[in-house]
Amino acid sequence: MSSDINYVELLAMTAAILEKGFSYNGAEAITTARVLVEADARGIPSHGVSRLNFYKMNLKDGHTHPGNEPKITWETPSSIVVDGNGGVGPYVAEFAVRKVIEKAHRTGVCFASVRNSNHYGIAGYWAELMAKEDMIGLAFTNTYIAGVPTFGRFRILGTNPIAAAIPEAKGKIFLLDLATTTVTHGKVELYDRRQKPMPPGWVVDENGNEITDASAFEKTFYQTNYGGHLFLGGAGEESGGHKGYGLALLVEILCSGLSMGACSLLTYPTVGNGGITHFFGAFKMDLFGKPREIKAHIGGILTNIRESAKAIGQNRIYIHGEKESEAREKALEEGIYLDKATRIMLSDFCRKYRVDEIEGLVDDV
């Protein structure tokens, strides 16, 4: 089987595909490539370079317009509203996040709502950028419709992820990054590509019945608005499904409501821009005291959890973000694992767009 892929080489090849084949400019290409490769490095293949097919489809359908620059339409000392102008999602997100960081350094806090954007990759990447500036970072986004509300069967909300990044002791970052649905749609696509049955409790069909056949679910997903993902807690209220549904609504209101942008139901129309909306927030830790002392205190809280009693057969309790951080460190040293379908997709793109292919990309896959 082919060896794992070098991070730097994968980053360069992905950026070249985006620039030569997708007509992204240099800044759009490298920003997008970095977000995608970071997902693969962190062990989140559902949002990695396999998303290139989705991004290509958005170009073909007229949802994404490379070269379109985002603009600020409303501004105060501690807030901005950004119109993404139908541009490249990660590029629009980076524009907004950099402005948020810049303002938060001056005022202590800043928030941004963004409309008329596109898919921006993993939410945690953006929250983490703010945490690296000694800030608490928040990143939310709505998505293409995926989830059915509690007691409903009409797909009307997105997977609407929530990400929060908080610096702690010794340079570590607590990073909570989760979809408000049980899983992202990218993970369903991953199971479809690998021809594996999904675990029960992920999705329901158009009649509201649970289904585990990923391929069958995918066939109907884009043909009807009935059936879709279950929110955290599953169907009904007994196991708390209404709580996940409520979190999705919160994200929708912060992203779409405050930006005056499209709700999930109206994203990716038959004609027009993708319309995705985001919300970002950052506030400096020195609003609450000395950052070093606060981070040490947070570190102590998390250490208590790490060192608490383990369940029988378990030897570790993980803090959110640790698995991804450790996977990234390993990937930087040993390379990034890509499945067979993704390798073949990349190879096809390289041949089509005359991009130099990484040596061994499809050897023996």
CATH 3.20.20.70 fits 68-182+230-334, yes or no: no
Task: Tell whether the model's pLDDT for residue 274 goes beyond 60.
Answer: yes
- Are the C-beta atoms of 228 and 150 separated by less than 8 Å? no
Residue type, 236: G
pLDDT at 75: 98
Backbone angles phi, psi at 343, to 5 degrees: -60, -45
Q: What is the C-alpha separation between 84 and 281, in angstroms, rounded? A: 17
Per-residue confidence (pLDDT) for residue 360, from 0 to 100: 84
Supply 292's token pair. Answer: 């070093």
Two structure tokens written together for 259: 């930006």
pLDDT confidence tier of residue 189, bands split at 50, 70 and 90: confident
pTM of the model: 0.94
User: Is-contact 180 247, C-beta < 8 A?
Assistant: yes
Q: Would you mind telling me the total number of residues written for the chain in this entry?
A: 365
Residue 365 has pLDDT above 80, yes or no: no
User: φ, ψ for residue 137 (rounded to 5)?
Assistant: -115, 140
Contact 15, 29 (CB under 8 A): yes
Question: How confident is the model over 39-83, as pLDDT tens digits?
Answer: 999 999 989 999 999 999 999 999 999 999 999 999 999 999 999
- What is the predicted pLDDT for the residue at 88? 98
> At the top level of CATH, which class does the domain 1-60+337-365 belong to?
mainly alpha
**Which one is predicted more confidently, 221 or 17?**
17
pLDDT tier for residue 2 given thresholds of 50, 70 and 90:
low
Higher pLDDT, 195 or 104: 104
Place of tokens 């986004």: 141
> pLDDT tens across 215-254, in order?
999 988 888 899 999 999 998 899 999 999 999 999 999 9
Q: What is the pLDDT of residue 364?
A: 55
pLDDT at 236: 86
Write down the pLDDT at residue 98. Answer: 98
Of the ranges 1-15, 30-44, 80-94, which one carries the lowest mean pLDDT score? 1-15
pLDDT in tens, 79-110: 999 999 999 999 999 999 999 999 999 999 99
pLDDT tens by residue, 301-351? 999 999 999 999 999 999 999 999 999 999 999 999 999 989 999 999 999
Residues of CATH 1.10.1530.10 domain(s) within the chain? 1-60+337-365
Q: Token digits for 279?
A: 């919300």
Q: How far apart are CA 29 and CA 14, in angstroms?
A: 8
Strand pairing report for 79-83 and 210-211? unpaired
Q: Mean pLDDT over all residues of the chain?
A: 95
pLDDT confidence of 1, banded at 50, 70, 90? Answer: very low
Q: Residue 157 carries which DSSP code?
A: B
CATH code 3.30.1370.60 region(s) in the chain: 68-182+230-334
